[in-house]
Amino acid sequence: MRRPVIAANWKMHKTIAQALQFVKEFLPLLEGVEDRDVVLIPPFTALHALAETLRTTSIKLGAQNLFWEEEGAFTGEIAPSMVVDAGCTYVVIGHSERRKYFQETYPLVSKKVQAALTAGLIPIMCIGESLSERKKGKTFEVIKNQITEGLKGLQIQRSEQLVIAYEPIWAIGTGHTATPEQAEEVHSFIRELIRRTWGKEIANGLRIQYGGSVKPENMAELMAMPDIDGALVGGASLKPDSFARIVKYDQ
């Protein structure tokens, strides 16, 4: 059985002090929760402080991005080894906001996934279609291209090396959530693509998250679907009580 992975993507929110206050309030709310992976993904500035605070807990840290080179004249970028050094286990790659605002292409996403794997990080590779693409019936075509090109040439030996996050762009920050059945349909499609690429064993073990206006009120329904293995949570992860309720969806 796949272990759920529930991650809080704080995007460009929270100072160091605010991040530490969140953890102070959040940790007591998670007492007794041991059968799922919880990941906090703050801005780069808060990584070190949170790494120190979370050192004796089971909560993992993730970065929101990385660069594919280890060092060099790349002003403003962060190397994979620096992400590891900051205390991270996970890194988000290919988020729709990165693709939209920073023109991240399929080859670029692939290079970043490879760099993360080489550094020993677990990439959370984000994929998802726009509203117009869904209305035109292109959802599966878009997802197939994002999976095929994003993972092109990569070697995955174990299913736990990678997480895929299906985040329909039309549901991110809009308040509109894919129905559990809509999400499951795409998750099932993704798992079948992975089976064709790396075989049944990796496909059956690979964790696929759903993202897009996840809330405490809809988390249990989403997690009841057979191919949904967790969530990449945006706005609802910014408050300790809200995110704790999402993490404890079945309690």
d(CA 96, CA 165): 11
CB of 30 closer than 8 Å to CB of 60: no
Could you identify the residue written with the tokens 């670029």? Answer: 108
Backbone angles phi, psi at 201, to 5 degrees: -65, -45
Active site residues: 95, 167
Burial class (CB in 10 A: 0-12, 13-18, 19+), 201: exposed
Torsion of CA 25, 30, 36, 41, to 10 degrees: 0
CB of 222 closer than 8 Å to CB of 180: yes
| DSSP string for residues in 92-116 | EES-HHHHHHS---HHHHHHHHHHH
b/e 35-65 (16+ beta carbons within 10 angstroms → b) = ebbbbbbbbeebbebbeebbeeeebbbbbbb
- Interstrand relation of 37-41 and 60-63 (parallel, antiparallel or unpaired): parallel
Query: What is Dmax (Cα atoms) for the chain?
Result: 49
The length of the chain is 251
| Backbone dihedral region for residue 61 (phi beyond 0: left; psi -120 to 50: alpha; all else: beta) | beta
